[in-house]
Amino acid sequence: MSTTGLAALCAAAALIACSSDPNAVVGNGGSGSLAGASPSSGGASSGTGGASAAGRGHVQTCAEAGLSAGQCAELAAIRQPATLPAAHGNEKADDFDAAIFGFHVFFDARFSQNLAVRCESCHSVDSAFTTNEPTPSKGLAAGERNSPTIFNAARYDTFLWDGRADSLWSQPLFAFENPAEMGFSRLELAHLLVTLYQKEYEPVFGPLPDISDPARFPAKGAPGDIAFDQMSSDDQHTINGIAANVGKALEAYMRKVATGPAPVDEFLAGNEDALNEKQVRGMYVFAGAGCLECHAGPQLSDSKFHNLGVPAAAGQDPDQGRVTGLALLVNSPFNESGPFYNGAAPAASDMTPVLGGFRTPSLRNLSKSAPYGHNGSFPTLESVVDFHLQGGGKGMSGFVGDVDPKLVPTSLSSDDRDALIEFLKALTGKYPGLPWGQWPNGNG
């Protein structure tokens, strides 16, 4: 690559600076590895199986892999930033006391109808904050969608498979009231909060309102229940405000459950030993195969909704996906247009009702979050990769809508397929620090 070409690549990738060496990119404090020189001598591998720099010779560069400057820039842009993005509509998102409050609520089963289901039931500490089941079985009833890990949930722009939540804090409020999950109601949530968590709530959100009058504030109820629907609008607003604040505390906790740099990030930061040759090759296969169309940026997700043609699981009806999610989102008092959203709403979200469409999942921490797909129908990383390579579910039945035209059959050699999978495994980040990645008391 010429010096002029390297400068253009660095500018496109928004890197801080470039070395005068046309084969070395300098960015964010380290010698970048995409433009790639031969590895510097010395040093043991700190990655997942990378040989020492002196022992493996030349590292293939992005240009040598046949990628365009634009593709190389997109690969550079997948490096995970050291800090989290700003929260959506939550002024308490980075409040330490709010995080402690949310930490305790996350593990408290008293916020469920049978006193046995907690947030952690479907986002288990022992399973990388997911369940490692196709669909969760530990709620009040069998679920129909896979439980994604909450690792790096704070880095998303849209939430839940169908995008029914447009903020991380509003997402758990659906789980509390879902009859298949916790089966609670927002009135029960508010009353129990007064009983159990007043001392944790008030330093963060201010004095709890008086909701002791059962005539105004029945013991249980949510929208659609007579008890809640007959309340005055002001009293409904009071209860919704308490529920929103519980969600905001949960977000403050979930922002602590973010993984650190993965070997891929270390490689992109300049540590050429962080990836082995197969993983580097897999990264270039990833770009060359068109995966960046939907899996770009630090989360390796465009946060949009696509129909892949995934058939419904046995005994289930086809899932309408985004169509269902949009209907719930626009009617939620907790959306970005509602009274509980702090600050200005972001730019208008994509409100296209993609029939059978689901949010593009992040590819980070894939090795810890099997099975895959919105209904957990792909048991292994290999099986979900093969489904994408075949062009999704085109020609299959059991789903609604049309397969996204971006998903086209792609032919890879067995070696390239294997390299691609090894690259995906190298997107597993460092586990969240203590105490956040365990139970509040340090054990289960």
Phi, psi of 27 (to 5 degrees): -155, 140
- What's the rounded Cα separation, in Å, for the pair 229 and 223? 6
Q: Is the pLDDT at 16 greater than 50, yes or no?
A: no
DSSP, res 244: H
pLDDT of res. 21: 32
pTM of the predicted model as reported, rounded to 2 decimal places: 0.88
Residues 6+ apart with CB under 8 A from 226: none
| Interacting residues of 271 by C-beta distance below 8 A, sequence separation 6+ | 30, 33, 46, 47
Residue 24 and residue 61: Cα distance in Å, rounded?
Answer: 10
Joined together, the tokens standing for residue 136 give: 């969760």
Residue 395: how many other CB atoms lie within 10 Å: 9
Looking at the chain, the number of H-run helices and the number of E-run strands are 15, 5
| Cβ neighbours around 14 below 10 Å, total | 11
Higher pLDDT, residue 176 or 433: 176
Nearest CA among 358, 355, 361 for reference residue 320: 355
DSSP state, residue 77: T
Sign of CA dihedral 331, 334, 336, 339: positive
Reply yes or no on whether the pLDDT at 264 is more than 50.
yes
pLDDT exceeds 50 at position 17:
no
Rounded (to 5) percent helix, strand, coil in the chain: 35, 5, 60
Packed helices 381-389 and 414-425: angle between N→C axes, nearest 10 degrees:
130
Q: How confident is the model at residue 59 (pLDDT cuts 50, 70, 90)?
A: confident
Per-residue pLDDT, 181: 97
- pLDDT of residue 45 exceeding 50: no
**Whether pLDDT at 18 is above 50:** no
Helix (H, G, I), strand (E, B) or coil at 127: helix
Q: Residue 345 has what pLDDT? A: 81
Q: pLDDT tens digits for 376-417? A: 999 999 999 999 999 999 999 999 999 999 999 999 999 999
Residue boundaries of the structural domains of the chain: 3-80, 96-254
User: Helix H segments across 331-396?
Assistant: 381-389
**CA atoms within 13 A of residue 131's CA, in its CB half-sphere:** 20
Roughly what angle, to the nearest 10 degrees, separates helices 233-254 and 186-196? 70
Residues 270-282: pLDDT tens digits? 999 999 999 999 9
Question: How far is it, in rounded angstroms, from Cα 360 to Cα 363?
Answer: 9
Please give the mean pLDDT across all residues of the chain. Answer: 88
29 has a pLDDT exceeding 70 = no
Are the C-beta atoms of 359 and 305 separated by less than 8 Å? Answer: yes
- For the segment 275-329, what is each residue's pLDDT rounded down to a tens digit? 999 999 999 999 999 999 999 999 999 999 999 999 999 889 999 999 999 999 9
Q: What's the rounded Cα separation, in Å, for the pair 250 and 243?
A: 11
pLDDT band at 56 (very low <50, low <70, confident <90, very high): low
Q: For residue 34, what pLDDT is reported?
A: 61
Beta partners for residue 124, in sequence order = 130
Q: How far apart are CA 94 and CA 111, in angstroms?
A: 24
User: Token pair 């300049």 is at which residue?
Assistant: 270
Q: How confident is the model at residue 13 (pLDDT cuts 50, 70, 90)?
A: very low
Listing DSSP states for 380-401 in one string gives SHHHHHHHHHTTTTTT--S--S
Q: If we measure between CA atoms, which residue out of 338, 308, 312, 333 comes closest to residue 399?
A: 312
The CATH number of 96-254, from 3.40.50.300, 3.30.70.260, 3.80.30.20, 1.10.760.10, is 1.10.760.10
Q: How confident is the model at residue 23 (pLDDT cuts 50, 70, 90)?
A: very low
